[in-house]
Amino acid sequence: MCTRVAGRAAAAPGVPCGPWLCFLVALALDVVRVGCDQDPLNSVYLPAALELLDAPEHFRVQQVGHYPPANSSLGSRSETFLLLQPWPRAQPLLRVSYPPFATQQVVPPRVTEPHQQPVPWDVRAVSVEAAVTPAEPHARVLFHLKGQDWPPGPGSLPCARLHARHPAGTAHKACHFQLSLGACVVELEFPSHWFSQASTTRAELVYTLEPAAEGPGGCGPGRDEDPGKQALPVGGVELRPADPPQYQEVPLDEAVTLRVPNVPVRPGQIFSATLLLWHNFTASLLTLRIKVKKGLHVMAARPTQPTLWTAKLDRFKSSKHHTTLITCHRTGSSGPDSRPLELSEFLWVDFAVENGTGGGMAVTRPITWQLEYPGQAPEAEKDKMVWEILVSERDIRALVPLAKAEELVNTAPLTGIPRRVPVRLVTVDSGGALVEVTEHIGCESANTQVLQVSETCDAVFVAGKESRGAWGVRVDFWWRRLRASLRLTVWAPLLPLHIELTDTTLEQVRGWRVPSPTEGFTEPESAAGAEEAERRARGCRLQYQRAGVRFLAPFAAHPLDGGRRLTHLLGPDWLLDVSHLVAPHARVQDPRIASLEGGSVLVGREPGVTSIEVRSPLSDSILGEQALAVTDDKVSVLELRVQPVMGISLALSRGAAHPGEVTATCWAQSALPAPKQEVALSLWLSFSDHTLAPAELYDRSDLGLSVLAEEPGAILPTEERGAQLGVVVSGAGAEGLPLHVALHPAEPCRRGRHRVPLASGTAWLGLSPAHTPAPALPSSPAQSPPATEASLGGGRRVAGSVGGSGGVRGKFERAEEEAGKEEAKAREEEEEEEEEMVPAPQRVTDLELGMYALLGIFCLAILIFLVNGMVFVLRYQRKEPPDSATDPASPQPHNWVWLGTDQEELSRQLDRQSSGLATGEGGCPCESGGGEEAPALVPGPAGGTTSSSSTLARKEAGGRRKRVEFVTFAPAPPAQLPEEPAGAPAVQSILVAGEEDIRWVCEDMGLKDPEELRNYMERIRGSS
């Protein structure tokens, strides 16, 4: 088809066309050239079904422009899958089937590093402490299983062993995962000699997974040697000589600051708060009022410098609160201080926690602080500061959110179904205890345009309204004074969708006739139904090509800094197959032209142009669109590509682009068949437009297939098990057994020339010779041994057949003589049968309607223009032309002006005037000595003339008026001057009144000398 379209497009520039048409033709040439770069004849694969079992979330993936993959062939197929959710419960299975054969394998565990061995668990490790000290030499690491739920039983979950590597040595400890949370904590104590008194050192933490064993904690004792490259990284921890205490500073006013511990306290513990003064503090008396609830009381107040300050403690008790009043007096001077802008400690206040909290849960105890100065205004005494201390019976070290997954593929815009990731909050106590937190939790998403969090803080989700994805988007959680963050990667689809069609132009298949949708497939059983069968045969229509449909989308994550560089899932050239998600929302825009069957097969109905579109389930927007055309052009089936399948094999491998990437490769087994071996035949149809299609795209009732074997009794009928064609082979020789497969129209439409096969192909069972000529179908008994044939799809019913019209039978098709007669008769009736075929109903498309409307407007405009022209001609052809235009030979009128002073010329003009040859006279007395008036005549055009004069008055400075008369000549009819001789010039004159006026005209022309005037007149006569 690429060659034909390219040829048509190449011929288009030779036709006169506008610039837009030329541009469209050039664009079409580019599209055709790109489409023809990939040879479609190599786009074949074994149409076996591959599916993942027991996998919670997975996608088929493919590279752009590489489907099927390069390693696919007629007998093999490769598919790549992406598993996003881990599987701690059971390993998923990948099953491949091509009926009646099927096989399956367990998907190998994921590998996070190339050199590591695969593990069946997906574990997240969280280091609780970033630094340890000799006072607290414990490193705590939380291990959490991601993915699905896991089966009950103490031995079902593994153990995690933490290894610490330090220059001074190694240490390790293990923990067993809890069934309730799927998590555990390892609390590893570092030896004292690992800590340096002068510097900070670092220890690297790694872990390994091992099965549960009999022993303390459900894990084995382990070994002291280094785990090597098989260990998974956790991170590093610093070993410091001493850890500075954690404090929080709060200003009470401009001069006094309060420093309090920022860690939870336990019942019975004594802690201290410190008051700090600026060095420029000058007051000598300070009163501190402290109010606490029951369970806390102030034990003592101790000045840091007893020689400078004294403290007096007074206690007051009430039913709800205990109030303590501390009065501080300055007793001495500190002297000049060169650091007035620094803080210094001046008072320690000791508190004691009396009672427990009950239940081990943390509670807060508020403490109210208020400063009072002598002579202070009453309004200032109202300023108070409330500080809450966290009291807990447990030594809580951290708050950790546990999520089922660390990445989320946002398919909600495609399906309208929200995607959720469950989240659980746990606290890590000293000693490695884990406690889940369910109440008084706060949470917030850092970017709600990417990811949202539920009100109960038990899940993060996407609802379909999110505009983008992000890499490592943060969700914050808090409980009491503890805060924690969870980071997830959200992959969002990049729209529009890629709709991939195996053929965008569906054409009619020459000779392949199928019954109309209203016709049945039951063949009449009596001779009385012969006419009915003939009528049904004439009601058949040509089969349109079919195409496979796939819906693909790239998924990407945006950077958090707002940049434009995207991070693509698997890579920028990888697409995820979302056909199973968007197929319910896909439709053909005009179902009369084509229809979509099963969301994956495009069926042509009638000629026209339409498109496949996918609409959003959340709005009326279009997520993707692909144009297609159905034409009544004819294509032929060139050949059948046949692949025998006598078994199927499967191989699985892991990819490196993503931990969940799995590639499955299956191939057909086609060794020498054993006796009674069942064989399935995979068929591909090769068309004359350079396209290929598997037989699985077409209805079984439209395929009339027959199998022919040269050896008698080589093939036997078999039951229908889902394959397009299957036989049972009795056995094959050492050189293999050839099977000849032919494609016929459906049986109700198999009349005349349509009994001849549309196409044929050969499949070899076992080893095929280097070159085997394609046999003629049907074969001649005189040239070959008796053959055995099996047919499928629309075949005639015979005794012993199985499955009715879809069964398999063995018999002779017909003799060679009958075949020759049928072929000759088919050639004679070819044109007649083409006329008898019921054409597909033609329908005027919207484009044709628009073209017709535009053509009608153009015709109407041309008609109006013609009517307007006729009216104009009829209106103006009746008007008489002016007198000057009655004689086309008459000269055009001219305006002549004569200025002259030559006396001789003036005399000659006067003589001509006296003889009656001229009708106008005028004088131009110039300075010629005599000064007498004389008329000046100007020669006019040939023929008689009439004169009309007009006067232009001009007034100069001094009051003298000069006047020149101009005469305009118009041609007169020839009948007015019959006495004028031929060739005599017509002269009209300029009459000038007054000698001074004539002299003014001559002076203006610069002609004062009579000789100059005479020469000027001669030049005028010579030019006329």
pLDDT band at 992, cuts 50/70/90? very low
pLDDT of residue 51: 92
Six-digit token string for 853: 């409307």
Residue 990 CA to residue 897 CA, distance in Å, equals 7
Q: How many of the other CB atoms lie within 10 Å of CB of 613? A: 19
Q: Which stretch, 201-205, 524-528, 906-910, has highest mean pLDDT?
A: 201-205
| Residue 371 · residue 287 · CB < 8 Å | yes
Q: Higher-confidence residue: 754 or 269? A: 269
Residue 779 has pLDDT above 60, yes or no: no
Residue 791 CA to residue 715 CA, distance in Å, equals 11
Residues of the chain above pLDDT 70, percent:
65
Residue 995 has pLDDT above 70, yes or no: no
| Residue 509 · residue 636 · CB < 8 Å | yes
Instruction: Write the burial class of residue 1012 (CB in 10 Å: 0-12 exposed, 13-18 middle, 19+ buried).
Output: middle
Residue 190 has pLDDT above 50, yes or no: yes
Which residues contact residue 919 at a Cβ distance below 8 angstroms, ignoring those fewer than 6 apart?
945, 946, 947, 988
pLDDT of residue 283: 84
**What is the tens place of the pLDDT at every residue in 342-367?**
778 889 999 988 766 555 555 778 88
pLDDT band at 220, cuts 50/70/90? confident
Residues of the chain above pLDDT 90, percent:
31
Residue 413 CA to residue 616 CA, distance in Å, equals 7
pLDDT of residue 611: 95
Element (H, E) at 20: helix 19-37
Residue 601 has pLDDT above 90, yes or no: yes
Mean pLDDT of the chain: 74
Residue 489 has pLDDT above 90, yes or no: yes
Residue 399 CA to residue 442 CA, distance in Å, equals 12
Alpha-carbon dihedral sign for residues 144, 150, 154, 155: negative
pLDDT of residue 898: 52
**What is the tens place of the pLDDT at every residue in 714-725?**
776 666 554 467
Q: Higher-confidence residue: 680 or 839? A: 680
Residue 121 CA to residue 231 CA, distance in Å, equals 14
pLDDT of residue 122: 79
Residue 608 CA to residue 528 CA, distance in Å, equals 40
Which residues contact residue 532 at a Cβ distance below 8 angstroms, ignoring those fewer than 6 apart?
524
| Residue type (1 letter), 405 | A
55-69, 152-166, 961-975: least confident range:
961-975
Question: Which residue, 895, 933, 899, 897, is CA-closest to 1016?
Answer: 899
Residue 33 has pLDDT above 90, yes or no: no
The distance from CA 14 to its chain's CA centroid, rounded to whole angstroms, is: 38
337-341, 509-513, 794-798: least confident range:
794-798
pLDDT band at 268, cuts 50/70/90? confident
pTM, whole model, 2 decimals? Answer: 0.66
Q: What is the largest CA-CA distance in the chain?
A: 159
Residue 369 CA to residue 288 CA, distance in Å, equals 7
219-233, 692-706, 726-740, 887-901: least confident range:
887-901
- In order, the DSSP letters of 285-345 are EEEEEEEEETTEEEEEEEES-TTTEEEEEEEEE-SSEEEEEEEEEE-S-----S-TTSEEE
pLDDT band at 895, cuts 50/70/90? low
Residue 316 CA to residue 273 CA, distance in Å, equals 20
167-171, 284-288, 712-716: least confident range:
712-716
- DSSP-derived secondary structure letter, 553: E
| Residue 666 · residue 649 · CB < 8 Å | yes
pLDDT average, residue stretch 757-762: 90
pLDDT average, residue stretch 692-704: 89
Residue 148 CA to residue 404 CA, distance in Å, equals 7
Residue 988 has pLDDT above 60, yes or no: no
pLDDT of residue 983: 45
